[in-house]
């Protein structure tokens, strides 16, 4: 079977003559391709992957993917920075011209043959073209500022046809899908560069101002070429394979590195088998694309791991990824999880074999003040389940079978790869490690260098055991259903324990049960086929505790209810454990976290306090959060408290329900306190495509405000005899938070004792192809009824009163001074302070706010609208000025120019007219960086 597979692959052959022009950053290519029709159908068109052309404009699949990840670098690139493939000619073996075109993604070349290609026949195609390389600031590929080059997926390769064409655009996912070919590359490049490649260099020579190298790859998918200005690649020959690498550890001796590479090679050979090519390219560039995420990405001076461990794990991961990519030809977009499973399973096994005591925090876990954290007690391999649960707890986990381009970035880069490796470790724990190990070696031995499917691996695994493992592929791999069990009850007899286990999620997979005595394991069992609930009888070995999944080999969703004490009722009560700052979960304690906080507003001044909460590093359904603080300026206690419960309902459609009750108290003026008590309920909706940034929310809340005024400020209250009020608020939000196209709108209804009102807001942002950005916002509000006597509840043109206390005003009652110049873009959204008769509306208001950029973050803005008050005709209002949009919605300045007030820039006290937006909330700011991952 293996020989037949290799023979079939050998029919695809290509030869290239390539010249690298270091001045134009172009590759001049002449390519001859022998295409073998391995299907049972006549082919009239052929498709070639032209992934270099993905950098050509702002509408390619790559550019759209970047936009989804909030990266606009390719969209804003200059014309001379764009990579592009220019086709000069396409001819057949009779030198007749062939028609060609591109697919929608612009990185697939379609060639129409002059005559049909019958099954099992070959044809030759000659293509002449130029590839303009991009700089490596978009992806690692292209040229770098130091004169080096990283060429990967840089020439035309055949798309796969297996009854239908698999045409996959370049989305920076490392998943080029191409047929295996025998390739010869005659490559000319500048004499100042040193070459490294996954292909074999069969000959090389020099000529004036240049070099020549012939590279040959047999039964390989693509040629990877790295050109550097210094000779940094070293060849390491081991008894089992040869490595070409530039991965180094400056603080680890060269002799030590060589011994470690031999150790890694020995491990790979013993766990995979013989590598069929002459060498393995293990580059720093490849490692950086798929690094060891976590603490080891910190700067070297706080690197927590020993140099030997750090180097070996880095080398092992990069080598495994390269070896599996070069030998196991799975569909890299649809079945990519299997290679990830094997690589991460072997990573787990390597640590278990050589570094069983390695902690996740490394040397940091021994430091006083750190070692008491649950995170410091976690083993290195515990990170696999932990990071998978990071998205599972957010209801963002996706099935392992999900195509690569449908995964959110965190799943594609981390969570799904870790879940895949953990899945094989789970299976090994269930059926026996030796059976999974042998299955992997058998799979590698008989299917390397062949087109292979997951079904092939499944059949090998099933033949290795008599136990039913259908659950692994049916539930663990194919679905995103979570694993969650609990011990419902235990009944003791003299010689037996009757253990009732409940399957909370209905995912019918095996679960392990451990018996502990004095925190030592004295018994272990596996139970399966628990559809909903099942009782098992085990021996009574005088255990004092039963624990599900004690060794955490199973990526279980919730381990807080995994244990049952056998000492009596009171012993089952979890003790409180107070921990400084946020930590990982400890299922045996009720954890309370505390951290000092410091807030500020102009009335309370700097407000120190202590925040007490139960939210761990992993999201949990029920959360409480209290922050008692003390205002030295007011000499009074302030702060907030909140209970919330989040219930995830499904992956798409109506996906989440939130229940909460919160209260806060602070000062809104001198010696004037407000207290808010707000029960709320909200529903969230999202599309089936989790990569989409579209979300919808429907929320209901009942805001109760209690106010105490300083005697000198009673005129500020709506009703001096009863300054308290309650407002029922319902709001529907529809938002598509794209970095190129932003759409958001909401409808808001409020009902109180003295008024009812309805408002609508629509916001639109568009980043055009000429790099101009347009911002538009429309607001309209109407009182349905209004019996209020002041403008406290009115629509505001330039500074909402915020009677619901939603906005982060630094000085919410200020009407002069720097704090009064803070602006929250809400309601009218005007930036200029207009006359009092325009600033509020107790009937209706409609405004439009717009801006566009002149240069980078410098914009012109303009606002216009109508304001209608009872007893008066509507007023037309407007303003304009310059907006310094440093970080949209987070830090902005508004400089008024002209408005109903006239030329404001020429009026006195202009500095008092400047408005600013500032966000100081750490949670809001961190959202800028985490949004591209989730």
3-state secondary structure 370-428: CCCCHHHHCEHHHHHHHHHHHHHCCCCCCCCCCCHHHCCHHHHHHHHHHHHHHHHHHHH
- Domain shared by 74 and 165, yes or no: yes
Could you give the 3-state DSSP secondary structure of residue 445?
Answer: helix
pLDDT tens digit sequence for 29-67: 999 999 999 999 999 999 999 999 999 988 899 998 998
* Residue 614 belongs to some domain of the structure: no
Q: For 665-682, what is the mean pLDDT?
A: 94
Other residues' Cβ atoms within 10 Å of the Cβ of residue 916: 13
| End-to-end Cα distance, the chain | 43
pLDDT band at 5 (very low <50, low <70, confident <90, very high): very low
Question: Is residue 674 over pLDDT 70?
Answer: yes
Going by C-beta distance under 8 Å and a sequence separation of 6 or more, which residues neighbour residue 394? 619, 934
Indicate whether 301 and 429 sit together in one domain: yes
The 3-state secondary structure of 42-73 reads CEEEEEEECHHHHHCCCCCHHHHHHHHCCCCC
pTM of the model: 0.91
SS3 state of residue 700: strand
Give the pLDDT score at 341.
Answer: 97
The token duo for 920 is 């100081």
Query: Can you tell me the distance from the alpha carbon of 75 to that of 61, in angstroms, rounded to the nearest whole number?
Result: 12
Nearest to 741 by CA among 64, 287, 227, 82: 64
From the DSSP assignment, how many helices (H) and strands (E) are in the chain? 15, 49
- DSSP-H helix ranges across 823-870: 836-839
Instruction: For residue 381, give the nearest of 552, 258, 225, 546 by alpha carbon.
Output: 552
Confidence at 10, pLDDT banded by 50, 70, 90: very low
Query: Do 519 and 426 fall into the same domain?
Result: no
Domain membership flag for residue 171: yes
Do residues 222 and 49 lie in contact, with contact meaning Cβ atoms separated by under 8 Å? Answer: no
**Would you state the structure tokens that stand for residue 316, as one six-digit string?**
């092992």
Compare 617 and 761 and report the one with higher pLDDT: 761
pLDDT of 145 over the 80 cut: yes
Helix axis angle, 433-447 relative to 416-431, nearest 10°? 120
Element (H, E) at 525: strand 520-527
Which residue shows structure tokens 């206690």?
637
Q: Is 184 helix (H, G, I), strand (E, B) or coil?
A: strand
**Predicted pLDDT of residue 60:** 92
Backbone φ and ψ of 528, nearest 5°? -135, 175
Q: Are residues 15 and 72 in the same domain?
A: yes
Place 622 in a pLDDT band, splitting at 50, 70 and 90. very high
Is the domain of 784 the same as that of 772? yes
State the Cα–Cα distance between residues 8 and 36, nearest whole angstrom. 9
Task: Give the H/E segment covering residue 125.
Answer: strand 122-132
Mean pLDDT of the chain: 91
Rounded-to-integer distance, Cα 390 and Cα 584, Å: 11
> Is 595 within a domain?
no
Q: How far apart are CA 586 and CA 576, in angstroms?
A: 11
Closest CA to 74 of 66, 301, 795: 66
Are the C-beta atoms of 644 and 612 separated by less than 8 Å?
no
Distance CA 150, CA 43 (A): 34
Query: CB of 896 within 8 A of CB of 832?
Result: yes
Same domain, 492 and 444: no
Distance of CA 382 to the CA centre of its chain: 20
Nearest to residue 868, comparing CAs of 899, 840, 849, 848? Answer: 840
pLDDT for 7 beyond 50: no
| CATH number of the domain that residue 507 is part of | 2.60.40.10
Give the pLDDT of residue 4.
Answer: 37
In the chain, what percentage of residues exceed pLDDT 70? 95
Residue 472 domain flag: yes
Residue 928, pLDDT above cutoff 80: no
- Is residue 30 located within the same domain as residue 141? yes
Asked, for residue 599, whether it belongs to a domain, the answer is no
Phi, psi of 638 (to 5 degrees): -135, -175
- Token pair of 756, please? 């009812």
The neighbouring-strand residues paired with 600 are: 606
Same domain flag for 569 and 685: no
| Beta strand spans in 649-693 (E) | 653-669, 672-686
Of 314, 346, 393, 407, the closest CA to residue 585 belongs to: 393
CA–CA distance, 340 with 488 (Å, rounded to integer): 35
Q: What is the extent of the structural domain holding 691?
A: 647-930
Buried b (16+ CB within 10 A) or exposed e, 463-484: ebeeeebebbbebbbeebbbbb
Distances in Å between the Cα of 145 and the Cα atoms of 57, 79, 80, 392 are 22, 17, 15, 40
Q: Which of 609, 681, 605 is nearest to 640 (CA)?
A: 609
Phi-psi category of 581—alpha, beta or left, where left has phi over 0 and alpha has psi -120 to 50?
Answer: left
Rounded CA gap, 170 and 234, in Å?
Answer: 31
What string of DSSP letters covers 474-530? Answer: IIIIT--PPP-EEEEEEEE-SSEEEEEEEESS-----EEEEEEETTEEEEEEEE---
Query: What was the pLDDT predicted at 1?
Result: 35
Q: List alpha helices for 10-116, DSSP H.
A: 61-68
- Three-state DSSP state, 272: coil
CATH of the domain at 85: 2.60.40.1730
Residue 932 has pLDDT above 90, yes or no: no
- What integer is the mean pLDDT of 714-739? 81
Within a domain: 637: no
Query: Could you tell me the two tokens for 414?
Result: 């981390």
Distance CA 609, CA 606 (A): 10
Please give the share of the chain, as a percent, with pLDDT higher than 90: 76
CA 487 to chain centre: 34
Each residue's pLDDT tens digit, 72-93:
888 888 889 999 999 999 999 9
pLDDT in tens, 546-567: 999 988 889 898 888 888 888 7
Is residue 924 over pLDDT 70? no
What would the pLDDT profile of 874-901 be if each residue is shown by its tens digit? Answer: 999 999 999 998 887 778 999 999 999 9
181 and 244 both lie in a single domain: no
Among candidate residues 187, 207, 229, the one where a domain is terminated: 229
Check which CATH number belongs to the domain holding 858 and give it: 2.40.160
d(CA 315, CA 245): 9
Q: Which of 535, 555, 573 is the last residue of a domain?
A: 573
Does pLDDT of 236 surpass 50?
A: yes
Beta partners for 530? none
Strand intervals (E) in 713-830: 725-737, 741-752, 755-767, 773-786, 795-796
Tokens 């840089």 label which residue? Answer: 154
Q: 474 and 489 share a domain? A: no
User: What residue has token string 């954290």?
Assistant: 373
Count structural domains, the chain. Answer: 4
Can you give the CATH number for the domain in which 243 is found?
1.10.390.10
Contacts 24+ apart (CB under 8 A), 489-496: 489/564, 490/546, 490/564, 490/566, 492/540, 492/566, 493/540, 494/540, 495/539, 495/540, 496/537, 496/538, 496/539, 496/540
Count of beta carbons in the 10 Å neighbourhood of residue 335: 19
592 within some domain:
no
> Does one domain contain both 102 and 224?
yes
Predicted confidence band of residue 720 (pLDDT cuts 50, 70, 90): low
449, 480, 511 — which closes off a domain? 480
Which residue has 């060589």 as its token pair? 258
381 and 415 Cβ atoms separated by less than 8 Å: no
Read off the pLDDT of residues 536-548 as tens digits, 9 standing for 90 and up: 999 998 888 899 9
Q: Identify the three-state secondary structure at position 709.
A: coil
Q: Name the pLDDT band for 923 (thresholds 50, 70, 90).
A: low
Rounded to a whole number, what is the largest CA-CA distance in the chain? 99
Instruction: Kindly state the average pLDDT of the residues 757-772.
Output: 91
Rounded Cα gap, residues 934 and 410, in angstroms: 6
DSSP designation for 812 = T
In this structure, are 366 and 273 located in the same domain? yes
627 assigned to some structural domain: no
Q: What share of the chain is helix, strand, coil (3-state, %, to 5)?
A: 20, 40, 35
Classify residue 904 by its DSSP letter. Answer: G
- Rounded to whole angstroms, the Cα distance separating 429 from 1 reads 32
């Amino acid at each position: 079977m293996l020989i037949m597979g290799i023979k079939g692959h050998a029919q695809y052959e290509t030869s290239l003559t390539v010249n690298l022009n270091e001045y134009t950053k172009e590759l001049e290519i002449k390519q001859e391709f022998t295409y073998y029709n391995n299907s049972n159908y006549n082919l009239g068109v052929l498709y070639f992957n032209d992934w270099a052309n993905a950098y050509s404009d702002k509408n390619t699949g790559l550019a759209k993917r970047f936009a989804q990840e909030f990266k606009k670098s390719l969209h804003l690139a200059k014309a001379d920075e764009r990579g592009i493939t220019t086709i000069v000619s396409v001819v057949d073996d009779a030198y007749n011209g062939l028609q060609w075109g591109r697919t929608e993604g612009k990185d697939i070349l379609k060639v129409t043959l002059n005559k049909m290609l019958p099954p099992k026949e070959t044809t030759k195609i000659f293509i002449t073209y130029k590839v303009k390389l991009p700089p490596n600031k978009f992806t690692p590929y292209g040229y770098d500022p130091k004169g080096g080059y990283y060429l990967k997926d840089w020439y035309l390769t055949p798309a796969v046809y297996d009854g239908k064409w698999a045409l996959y655009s370049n989305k920076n996912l490392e998943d080029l899908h191409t047929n295996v070919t025998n390739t010869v590359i005659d490559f000319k490049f500048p004499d100042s560069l040193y070459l490294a490649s996954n292909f074999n260099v069969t000959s090389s020579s020099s000529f004036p101002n240049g070099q020549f190298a012939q590279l040959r790859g047999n039964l390989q998918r693509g040629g990877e070429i790295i050109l550097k200005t210094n000779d940094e690649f070293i060849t390491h020959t081991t008894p089992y394979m040869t490595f070409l690498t530039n991965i180094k550890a400056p603080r680890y001796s060269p002799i030590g590195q060589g011994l470690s590479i031999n150790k890694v090679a020995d491990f790979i050979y013993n766990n995979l088998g013989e590598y069929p090519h002459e060498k393995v390219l293990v580059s720093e560039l490849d490692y950086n694309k798929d690094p060891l995420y976590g603490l080891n990405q910190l700067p070297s001076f706080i690197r927590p791991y020993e140099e030997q461990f750090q180097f070996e794990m880095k080398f092992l991961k990069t080598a495994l990824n390269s070896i599996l990519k070069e030998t196991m030809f799975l569909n890299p977009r649809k079945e990519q999880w299997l290679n990830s499973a094997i690589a991460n399973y072997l990573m787990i096994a390597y640590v278990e074999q050589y570094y069983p005591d390695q902690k996740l925090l490394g040397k940091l876990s021994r430091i006083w003040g750190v070692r008491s954290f649950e995170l410091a007690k976690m083993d290195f391999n515990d990170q696999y389940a932990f990071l998978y649960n990071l998205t599972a707890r957010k209801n963002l986990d996706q099935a392992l079978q999900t195509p690569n381009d449908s995964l959110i970035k965190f799943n594609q880069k981390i969570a799904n790869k870790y879940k895949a490796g953990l899945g094989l470790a789970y299976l090994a724990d269930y059926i026996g490690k030796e059976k999974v190990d042998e299955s992997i070696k058998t799979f590698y031995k008989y299917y390397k260098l062949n087109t292979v499917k997951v079904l092939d691996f499944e059949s090998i695994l099933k033949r290795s055991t008599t136990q039913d493992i259908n659950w692994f592929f049916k539930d663990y791999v194919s679905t995103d259903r979570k694993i969650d069990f609990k011990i419902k009850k235990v009944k003791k007899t003299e010689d037996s324990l009757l253990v009732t286990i409940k399957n909370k999620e209905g995912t019918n997979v095996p679960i392990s049960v451990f018996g502990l005595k004095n925190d030592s394991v004295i018994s272990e069992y596996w139970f399966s086929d628990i559809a909903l609930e099942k009782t098992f009888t085990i021996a009574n070995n005088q255990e004092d505790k039963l624990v599900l999944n004690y060794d955490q080999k199973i990526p279980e969703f919730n381990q807080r209810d995994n244990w049952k004490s056998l000492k009596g009722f009171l012993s089952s009560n979890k003790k409180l454990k107070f921990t400084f700052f946020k930590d990982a979960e400890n299922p045996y304690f009720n954890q309370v976290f505390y951290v000092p906080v410091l807030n500020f507003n102009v009335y309370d001044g700097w407000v120190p306090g202590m925040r007490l909460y139960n939210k761990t590093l992993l999201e949990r359904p029920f959360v409480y959060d209290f922050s008692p603080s003390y205002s030295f300026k007011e000499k009074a206690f302030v702060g907030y408290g909140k209970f919330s419960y989040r219930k995830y309902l499904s992956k798409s459609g109506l996906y989440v329900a939130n229940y909460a009750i919160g209260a806060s108290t602070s000062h809104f003026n001198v010696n004037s306190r407000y207290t808010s008590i707000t029960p709320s309920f909200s529903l969230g909706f999202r599309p089936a495509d989790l990569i989409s940034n579209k979300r919808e929310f429907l929320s209901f809340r009942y805001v109760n405000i209690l106010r105490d005024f300083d005697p000198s400020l009673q005129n500020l209250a709506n009703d001096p005899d009863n300054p308290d009020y309650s407002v029922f608020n319902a709001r529907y939000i529809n938002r598509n938070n794209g970095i190129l196209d932003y759409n958001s709108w909401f409808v808001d209804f409020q009902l109180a004792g003295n008024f009812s009102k309805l408002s609508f807001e629509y916001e639109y942002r568009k980043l055009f192809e000429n790099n101009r950005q347009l911002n538009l916002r429309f607001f309209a509000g109407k009182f349905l009824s209004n019996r209020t006597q002041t403008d406290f509840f009115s629509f505001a043109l330039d500074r909402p009163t915020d009677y619901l206390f939603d906005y982060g005003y630094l000085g919410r009652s200020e009407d002069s001074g720097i704090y009064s110049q803070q602006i929250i873009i809400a309601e009218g959204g005007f930036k200029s302070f207009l006359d009092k008769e325009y600033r509020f509306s107790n009937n209706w208001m409609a405004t439009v706010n717009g801006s566009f950029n002149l240069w980078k973050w410098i914009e012109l803005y303009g606002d216009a609208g109508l304001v209608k008050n009872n007893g008066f005709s509507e007023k037309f209002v407007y303003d304009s000025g310059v907006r310094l949009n440093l970080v949209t919605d987070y830090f902005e300045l508004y400089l008024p120019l002209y408005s109903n007030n006239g030329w404001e820039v020429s009026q006195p006290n202009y500095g008092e007219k400047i408005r600013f937006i500032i966000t100081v909330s750490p949670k809001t700011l961190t959202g800028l960086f985490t949004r591209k991952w989730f």
